[in-house]
Amino acid sequence: MLKRTPLRLAATFTALFATTVIVLFAILFFGLTARLSEQIRVRTQETMDALLVVDRQKAFEDLASVVTSESESVRDADFIFELVDENGRHVAGNVHDIRQSNDWLTLEREDIQPDWDNGEPDDKFLALWQPVSKGRLLVGSSNRELRRTQTFLLEVLGIGLIATTLLGALCGAYLAANTQHRIDAFAKTLSAVSEGQIAARVPLTQTGDDIDHVGAQVNRTLDHLQKLIENVNQSSSDIAHDLKKPVGRLRQRLDIARRSARSAEEFPLTIEDTLADLDAMIETFDALLRITQIEAGARKARFANVDLGSVLDDVADVYAAVAEDAGHHLTWSNGRHAPAIVKGDRELLLQLFANLVENAIRHCPAGTNISLGLSAEPDGYRAEVSDTGPGIPVEEREKVFRRLYRLERARSTPGSGLGLTLAAAIVELHDARITLQDRGPGLHVAISFPKA
């Protein structure tokens, strides 16, 4: 249990809270003690001043009479008095033989030899000597009120500290248990993923706190991991399915050539067809490797500021003649007068739009209009590739981004079924969003990029 971070944090929080209470109490305790001590001195000085007035206005004998009267009137030993003559002999008062000093004295009970038996053994007195007409006068005041206040404060501190520690410990334990429960949810999810349950996700509390934020990041990572694993599984299946036929054709063609070729002139034709099939397979594997590298995110290290308008300009320049040769018409419209700067890899962005235009040229009938467009959005830019061809059925639009997936009508045309997969990988690498929509007729591909 002591190795659990939430518990240690809770213990630290409780200790810090208790320390804060002690420090605040110490400030209060010493401040109040100083204030009460000052009040005792003021009270003693006021009593002394009143007796000095008697000495100045009347006579020493009158002062002795007043001191005697005051000493007899003290019932609970709040004040002490001693009047001595010029020779230091005791004249009046309720204490005897107090040492003389010009400063304030702090007197214990055994130091004053009192004439009364009441009071408390721990009584202390703050006393002051002052000269009078025929001797010296001592007046002192008990600190009993100060000691009672200090005792009360210490009792309150003890009770408060115990209550504070218990409350802090309970709150800390609750918070620690709650946090530990959420940490255990992370561990349980990751353990399930490691055991093959790739769909497991960290449960979120929807409080929006930092743990939820980390949980959302972990879930996004697991989503990406699940997607990669599903792509690998799907790719393995698709590769086995799509390459089985060309490999079978290669073997059949070579076997026929081996058994039935009657002259050396027939071998070059067989070899040319075989090489063409091998080139197609190599192209497929190259495309798969590029997609894997892009999805791994390694190309992000090469990101820089790129003007989308300039990229689309280059694509339009290159493919205008290609589209015209295929019987299509390619147009390019830039709805922005200022540069559309995004963070990305220019080479990959060129490949993205080239793939989209090539798909339109390859799969649309002659006479199709293909258009490129660029416009601004509130938080970025929107690039568009549209055509007036047959489009893609709604139920097929998610599938076309899968590796090696081809529409039924496209199986008779050249290609590997990786063009849109590569495009989707490039879009995701750039934190963009791609959507396929009906143009009526045709297909409208929109890609939204965030601003750099």
The neighbouring-strand residues paired with 369 are: 329
| pLDDT at residue 447, rounded to an integer | 92
Q: Supply 267's token pair.
A: 């071998």
Record: fold of 299-450: Heat Shock Protein 90 (3.30.565)
3-state secondary structure of 132: strand
Look up tokens 């504070």; give the residue: 164
Hey, how many other C-beta atoms are within 10 angstroms of the C-beta on 389? 21
Q: Is 273 exposed, middle or buried (0-12, 13-18, 19+ CB in 10 A)?
A: middle
Instruction: Tell me the mean pLDDT in the region 12-27.
Output: 84
Instruction: Tell me the mean pLDDT in the region 71-92.
Output: 81
Look up tokens 């959302």; give the residue: 216
User: What DSSP character marks residue 100?
Assistant: P
pLDDT of 19 > 70? The answer is yes
| pLDDT at residue 272, rounded to an integer | 72
3-state secondary structure of 348: helix
Beta strand pairing status for 433-438 and 443-450? Answer: antiparallel
For 225-261, the pLDDT digits (tens) are: 887 777 666 666 666 666 666 677 777 777 776 666 5
Instruction: Tell me the mean pLDDT in the region 139-145.
Output: 86
Kindly report the CATH class assigned to 210-296. Answer: mainly alpha
Beta strand pairing status for 79-85 and 90-93? Answer: antiparallel
| pLDDT at residue 130, rounded to an integer | 92
Contact (CB, 8 A) for 412 and 430:
no
Share of the chain above pLDDT 70, in %: 80
Domain extents for the chain? 5-147, 210-296, 299-450
Contact (CB, 8 A) for 82 and 96:
yes
- What residues have CB less than 8 Å from 193, skipping those under 6 apart? 200, 222, 225
Contact (CB, 8 A) for 172 and 5:
no
For 431-447, the pLDDT digits (tens) are: 899 888 887 788 899 99
Distance of alpha carbon 2 from alpha carbon 53, whole angstroms? 72
Q: Which amino acid is at 451?
A: K
The strand ranges marked E within 119-231 are 124-132, 135-142
Q: 317, 334, 444: which is closest to 389 by C-alpha?
A: 444
Q: Which residue has the higher pLDDT, 148 or 281?
A: 148
Q: What is the DSSP string of 4-67?
A: -HHHHHHHHHHHHHHHHHHHHHHHHHHHHHHHHHHHHHHHHHHHHHHHHHHHHHS-HHHHHHHH
Contact (CB, 8 A) for 87 and 61:
no
Q: Is 246 exposed, middle or buried (0-12, 13-18, 19+ CB in 10 A)?
A: middle
Per-residue 3-state assignment (H helix, E strand, C coil) for 361-386: HHHCCCCCEEEEEEEEECCEEEEEEE
What's the CA dihedral at 204, 207, 211, 216 to 10 degrees?
50
| pLDDT at residue 409, rounded to an integer | 45
Q: Could you give the strand order of the β-sheet that contains 79-85, starting from the edge strand earlier in sequence?
A: 90-93, 79-85, 135-142, 124-132, 105-108
Helix (H) or strand (E) holding 329: strand 329-334
Architecture of domain 5-147: 2-Layer Sandwich (3.30)
Q: Torsions phi, psi of 438, nearest 5?
A: -75, 140
pLDDT of 212 > 70? The answer is yes
Q: Which residue has the higher pLDDT, 84 or 174?
A: 84
Contact (CB, 8 A) for 371 and 388:
no
| pLDDT at residue 307, rounded to an integer | 92
| pLDDT at residue 448, rounded to an integer | 92
